[in-house]
Amino acid sequence: MDVKKILEYQKLDSELFKIEKQLQNNPNKIKANEMHEKMKNSQEKSLKLEERAKKILEEIEKVKKQYKVQEEKLKEFLSKDIEAMSKEELDKMSVLKDKLSQNLNILEKNLTSLAENVNAVLASFNQTIKVFNSSKEQYAISKASYDEDVKVIDKQENEIEDKLKELAKDLDKKIIDEYMKRRKENIFPVLVPLHENSCGGCHIELPYAKISKLENEGILSCEHCHRIIYKS
């Protein structure tokens, strides 16, 4: 088999392969993806913060109610006529009063700490929104630059693809099918020369029977790296 033409095809195709790789590693694309990821994360974070703020506010309501109950009890206690009380009753009342004051103090502290938590959550929320907005802005810039790059690259690709189509017309259908199959699997170069007695792609040594098959048929598929080996 004459591999000259398919090698010519591969040479031109290598330019296309290079462009495809460049596009995959395009810095604007990478940046746009990064920013998009950041936007997504900020959004998730803000939802979680919202949920957290809601829970703290519910907790505050609960503590406020408890506070009110204790306050009512204390008021009721203070309105009692102590002059009519016995010493035992007075002692009992005094203990109760201390207990109520203590409870109010604890609840007040709880409220203060909950208010601090809410403030921290709100600050974090604001920060998250800032990150989201700046990511969105940078995403738009990178995406626009990437779209411009794609336009330029598309033109280059189309030109090469047209030439490849022309070259493919002169090629054996079987070989071009085999070639395309590997190309789609991202194997490149598809065709590699036999190097001494080894595959020119993965360098694995071929058994004698395989070399003789290659000599008879002109090409051989490497069982190891699936490239097409030809005899140069």
Which residues sit at the interface with Zn ion, rule CB under 5 A?
Answer: 199, 201-202, 222, 224-225
User: Do 121 and 59 touch, CB atoms closer than 8 A?
Assistant: no
In the complex, least distance from residue 225 CB atom to Zn ion, rounded to whole angstroms: 3
The CB-of-203 to Zn ion minimum distance in angstroms stands at 7
Report the candidate in 221, 226, 224, 227 with the shortest Cα–Cα distance to residue 192: 227
Instruction: Report in angstroms how near the CB of residue 222 gets to Zn ion at its nearest.
Output: 3
Where would I find the H helices in 170-192?
Answer: 173-184
Provide the terminal-to-terminal Cα distance of the chain, rounded to the nearest Å: 11
In the bound state with Zn ion, the residue whose beta carbon lies nearer, of 18 and 203, is 203
| Smaller CB separation from Zn ion, 164 or 225 | 225
β-sheet bridge partners, residue 192 = 229
The answer to whether 120 touches 86, Cβ cutoff 8 Å, is no
Q: How far is the CB of 175 from Zn ion (least distance, A)?
A: 17
The residues near 59 (Cβ < 8 Å, ≥ 6 apart) are 114
**DSSP 8-state symbol, 230:** E
Nearer to Zn ion, 154 or 215 (CB): 215
Q: Which is nearer to Zn ion, 127 or 221 (CB)?
A: 221
